[in-house]
Amino acid sequence: MSPGTSTDSVAVRVPGKVNLELLVGAQREDGYHEVSTVYQAVSVYDRVTVRPAERWSVSVTGPYADRVPTGDSNLALVAAKTLGRRRPRHGRSSPVHVEIDKTIPVAGGMAGGSANAAAALVACRELWQLDHVDNELLDQIASGLGSDVTFLLHGGTAIGSGRGEQVTPVLGRGELHWVLWVGEGLELSTPEVYAECDRLREAAGETPPAPEPSSELLTALRRMDAADVAAALHNDLQAAAVSLRPELAGVIEAGTELGALGAMVSGSGPTVAFLAGSQTEAIDLSVGLAANGPVGDIVRAIGPVPGAQVVQHLRTP
């Protein structure tokens, strides 16, 4: 466990996300693809706790713990170190131990790693009381860590443009009921899914248009009308995810037959997000999938929910 040197600790709760729309444009010179996406933060949470320690370190608990890297590549640790450089007079010599209690699926298209990075930023800012790091600066630091990190600082429902890091909130009332299917052993690497998307397009002789959010989805989101939102769900990476993991086609079909209003691969997959018409329908769908659907974890969630938030601050008097 933590080699903490004091009892100061800050815990942050952070959600995962689904993409209600993910339109992928051309690859840019920096290797990223121009995207237009509509993110929604959903009630599947990780808890990230930071406390001062003798050296930078990370530990992970929870059902998906064994799939998370605990070395220097861990994005939460990278985030903490990056923010540590903004600490006046301390430079890099302010190590923390980062403890991640993980419920968001790993390599699942729900931005679990980015969520942990966003949480680590919020937690360390609080722990170190970095009053000069305002939300705008935190957004800027987040965007350097990954395309989805900025959104997970904010949560809610938002349009992501650029490579996904330019976030604009979408106004809307109400909530959506999701059932998530998480398959074991199907983890997909985001760069591989983008590359497969390019390959499929090239093979078909397609050139993608400049991506822009669809007005149908934005109109449906104003009232969070589940049927209208379901009709407008779209993910350009779905064909690529299904091409790499053909079993996902059967998962989408099973949920649709069991009454989902809409179904799609979340982000780069392989998590499949089903939209239900109500809480009762979501319960029925999750029970049906668990009993008769393809083998996988079934998680019920609502969206939108807020982004990374401090939930506990323990301080020695």
Exposure string of 158-193, with b = 16+ CB inside 10 Å and e = fewer, is: bbbbebbbbbeebebeebbbbbbbbbeebbbebeeb
In 3-state terms the chain splits into helix, strand, coil percentages (rounded to 5) of 35, 30, 35
* 105 annotated among ligand-binding-site residues: yes
Distance CA 243, CA 263 (A): 17
Q: Is 102 a catalytic residue?
A: no
Was 107 annotated as part of a binding site? yes
Catalytic-role residue among 72, 148, 198, 225? 148
Nearest approach, Cβ of 51 to ligand C5P (angstroms)? 27
State both tokens at 263.
């179904």
Interface residue list for ligand C5P (CB under 6 A): 32-33, 35, 146-148, 163-164, 190-191, 194
Q: Which is nearer to ligand C5P, 237 or 282 (CB)?
A: 237
Per the annotation, does 112 bind a ligand?
yes
Q: How far is the CB of 145 from ligand C5P (least distance, A)?
A: 8
**304 annotated to bind ligand:** no
The answer to whether the bond into 270 is cis (omega within 30° of 0) is yes
Nearer to ligand C5P, 164 or 270 (CB): 164
Q: How far is the CB of 114 from ligand C5P (least distance, A)?
A: 6
H or E, element range at 314: strand 309-314
Which residue lies nearer to ligand C5P by CB, 94 or 271? 271
Tell me if 183 sits within 8 A of 269, measured CB to CB: no
User: Catalytic annotation on 72?
Assistant: no
For the CB of residue 284, give the shortest distance to ligand C5P in the complex, in Å. 34
Give the residue with the Cβ less far from ligand C5P, 31 or 317: 31
Listed in sequence order, the residues at least 6 apart from 185 whose beta carbon sits closer than 8 Å to its beta carbon are: none
109 is in an annotated binding site: yes
Distance (Å, whole) CA 75 – CA 117: 5
Q: Which residues are annotated as a binding site?
A: 105-115
Which positions are annotated as active-site residues? 17, 148
Q: Which residues are annotated as a binding site for ATP?
A: 105-115
